[in-house]
C-alpha cells in the first residue's frame, strides 16, 4: 500500500490547475442511464472513484470510452443488459447508489446493493428511498439490497426532505425527469454539483427549474436525448490547494476556481489573514504577514462551510495564532484525523462534534495514518508546514478524490513524493 513522503518547510509559488469535480462527475455519469442517446462529459477528473463508477455502469451494459487521457468520457446506454448493481462494486463507493433513480425511471426496476465508502459515520439511504416512494416506487430492502419497482412508470409527486441531502436530491431529480407529471422537491440541496446536474439534464431535454434553490420543480418528459457537458470545477480540490500557500507561505494561483464555488470558505480565509484574489484564470491565494489568525468554523450545507474542507482547515488552524473551534454538523465521525495531527505536535481537544485547536508555532514531522479521503490530504498539508519529514500511510483513499496530487504540489515547490507499497 503506497505512502506519501512530505518534507516540510518549502514556500509555495506558481499555478495549480484544478480538475473537474469528483462529486459532480459521479452524479453525471449515471445520468446516461436515463437516455438511449450518448452522453459525453468533458473536464472529467482522473480518479479511482471514476474508474469504479465506470465498472459499475459497464456491468449494467453501458459503453464507456475514455478520450483525451481520461478527461473526456463518452457514455452510451443504448443497450442496457441489466438492472442489478452488485455488492462487490457498490461497496467500494457510496456514490454507487446514484444508479438507483435513473435505472428505476428508465427500466421500471432496479436492484442496488447498499453502498460503502469512507468510514466517516452513518450515511443512511432512507432519504433516497423516501423520495423515490413519493414518485410511486415500490421498495423492499432484503439481503443487503434495495429492490425497487415502478412497473407502470414513475409518477410526479411532492418530495419534502426533512434534512438536506445532496445524494437524495440528485437521485430524485434524475428519476423525476422521466416521471409522468410534475415533481416538486422541497428542502433540496443547493450545492454546485446539483446545479451542474440540472444543467446537464436540461441539455438532455429535461424540464427543470430551481436547481440551486431549496425548491426544484421538474416536468417529466417521455424521453431524454444525448448531450455534451463540461464537468464543473471541483470546489473541494480548489479549497484544498488554496490552503497549501496559506499553510506554507507564498502565492499560488488555482486555475479554474471562482469565489462563488467557495465563498464561505473564502470568508474564513480572510478572517485568518489569508489573501484571496479573483483573477481572469482563477483564484490567487497568498499568506499575509506572519502566522494565520485563529478562526471558528462550523460546517453546513452549501452555501455554508463545506464538511469536505473541515479536515484541511484544521491543518491550517494547527499553526494559527490563538485558539479555534471547529464544529462538525454534517457527519458525526469526522475528526479521525485529529489524533494523527496530534502525533505531529498539534494541540487538539475533541468532544463529540466539536474540536478545539490551539495553534502552535510549528508542527513536527511524524509517521501518520490516513483514515479517509479528506483526512489523507489534510495530513499532507500539515506535513508541508512541519519540520522534518512526514510519512502519510494508507493513502489509497487519496486517489479516490485527488488527481495527481504529488505532481501538482511539486509544480509549486513542495517536496512531496509517493513511496510505493511493499
Task: Spot the catalytic one: 118, 248, 254, 266.
Answer: 118
CB 61, CB 82: distance < 8 Å: yes
**Those residues with Cβ within 8 angstroms of residue 116's Cβ, 6 or more apart along the chain or in another chain:** 90, 91, 92, 93, 94
Angstrom distance (rounded) from CA 328 to CA 321: 21
Q: 3-state class of 190 per DSSP? A: coil
To the question of whether residue 127 is assigned a binding role by annotation, the answer is yes
- Specify the pairing of strand 182-186 against strand 158-160: parallel
Report DSSP letters for 283-312, one per residue.
EEEEE-SSSPBP--EEB-STTSB-GGGHHH
Report DSSP letters for 317-335, one per residue.
HTTSBSEEEEE--S-TT--
Backbone angles phi, psi at 253, to 5 degrees: -100, 125
To the question of whether residue 289 is assigned a binding role by annotation, the answer is no
To the question of whether residue 72 is assigned a binding role by annotation, the answer is no
**Preceding amide of 303 cis, omega within 30:** yes
β-partners of residue 140 are 147
Q: Closest by alpha carbon to 56, among 25, 20, 108, 99? A: 99
To the question of whether residue 140 is assigned a binding role by annotation, the answer is no
To the question of whether residue 308 is assigned a binding role by annotation, the answer is yes
To the question of whether residue 216 is assigned a binding role by annotation, the answer is no
To the question of whether residue 268 is assigned a binding role by annotation, the answer is no
318 is annotated as an active-site residue? no
Q: Closest by alpha carbon to 95, among 22, 162, 147? A: 22
Cell triple for 246: 496559506
79-to-33, 34, 62, 76, 359 alpha-carbon distances in Å: 10, 12, 7, 8, 57
To the question of whether residue 23 is assigned a binding role by annotation, the answer is yes
In the chain, helix, strand, coil percent, each to 5?
A: 35, 30, 35
Q: 3-state class of 58 per DSSP? A: helix
**Annotated binding residues for phosphoenolpyruvate:** 22-23
**Annotated binding residues:** 22-23, 94, 123-127, 308, 330
> What is the set of active-site residues?
118
**Annotated binding residues for UDP-N-acetyl-alpha-D-glucosamine:** 94, 123-127, 308, 330
Amino acid at each position: 500500500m503506497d505512502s506519501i513522503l512530505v518534507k516540510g518547510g518549502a514556500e509555495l509559488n506558481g499555478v495549480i490547475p484544478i480538475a473537474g469535480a469528483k462529486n459532480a462527475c459521479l452524479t453525471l455519469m449515471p445520468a446516461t442511464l436515463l437516455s438511449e442517446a450518448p452522453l459525453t462529459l468533458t473536464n472529467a477528473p482522473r480518479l479511482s472513484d471514476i474508474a469504479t463508477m465506470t465498472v459499475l455502469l459497464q456491468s449494467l451494459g453501458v459503453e464507456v470510452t475514455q478520450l483525451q487521457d481520461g478527461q473526456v468520457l463518452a457514455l452510451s446506454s443504448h443497450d442496457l443488459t441489466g438492472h442489478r448493481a452488485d455488492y462487490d462494486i457498490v461497496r467500494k463507493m457510496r456514490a454507487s447508489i446514484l444508479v438507483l433513480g435513473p435505472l428505476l425511471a428508465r427500466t421500471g426496476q432496479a436492484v442496488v446493493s447498499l453502498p460503502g465508502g469512507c468510514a466517516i459515520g452513518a450515511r443512511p439511504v432512507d432519504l433516497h428511498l423516501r423520495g423515490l416512494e413519493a414518485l410511486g416506487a415500490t421498495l423492499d430492502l432484503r439481503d443487503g439490497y434495495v429492490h425497487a419497482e415502478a412497473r407502470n412508470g414513475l409518477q410526479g409527486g411532492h418530495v419534502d426532505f426533512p434534512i438536506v441531502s445532496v445524494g437524495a436530491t440528485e437521485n430524485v431529480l434524475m428519476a423525476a425527469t422521466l416521471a409522468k407529471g410534475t415533481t416538486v422537491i422541497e428542502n433540496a440541496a443547493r450545492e454546485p454539483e446539483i446545479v451542474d446536474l440540472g444543467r446537464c439534464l436540461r441539455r438532455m431535454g429535461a424540464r427543470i427549474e430551481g436547481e440551486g434553490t431549496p425548491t426544484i420543480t421538474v416536468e417529466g418528459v417521455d424521453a431524454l436525448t444525448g448531450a455534451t457537458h463540461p464537468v464543473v470545477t471541483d470546489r473541494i480540490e480548489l479549497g484544498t490547494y488554496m490552503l497549501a500557500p496559506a499553510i506554507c507561505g507564498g502565492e499560488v494561483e488555482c486555475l479554474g476556481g471562482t469565489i462563488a464555488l467557495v465563498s464561505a470558505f473564502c470568508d474564513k480565509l480572510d478572517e485568518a489573514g489569508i489573501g484571496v484574489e479573483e483573477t481572469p484564470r482563477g483564484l490567487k491565494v497568498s499568506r499575509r504577514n506572519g502566522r494565520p489568525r485563529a478562526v471558528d468554523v462550523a460546517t453546513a450545507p452549501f452555501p455554508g462551510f463545506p464538511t469536505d474542507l473541515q479536515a484541511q482547515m484544521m491543518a491550517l488552524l494547527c499553526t494559527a495564532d490563538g485558539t479555534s473551534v471547529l464544529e462538525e454538523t454534517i457527519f458525526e465521525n469526522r475528526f479521525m484525523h485529529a489524533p494523527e495531527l496530534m502525533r505531529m505536535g498539534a494541540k487538539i481537544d475533541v468532544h463529540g462534534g466539536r474540536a478545539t485547536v490551539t495553534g502552535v508555532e510549528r508542527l513536527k514531522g511524524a509517521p501518520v495514518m490516513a483514515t479517509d479521503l479528506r483526512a489523507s490530504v489534510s495530513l499532507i498539508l500539515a506535513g508541508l508546514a512541519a519540520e522534518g519529514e512526514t510519512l502519510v500511510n494508507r493513502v489509497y483513499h487519496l486517489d479516490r478524490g485527488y488527481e495527481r496530487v504529488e505532481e501538482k504540489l511539486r509544480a509549486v515547490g513542495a517536496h512531496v513524493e509517493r513511496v510505493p507499497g511493499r
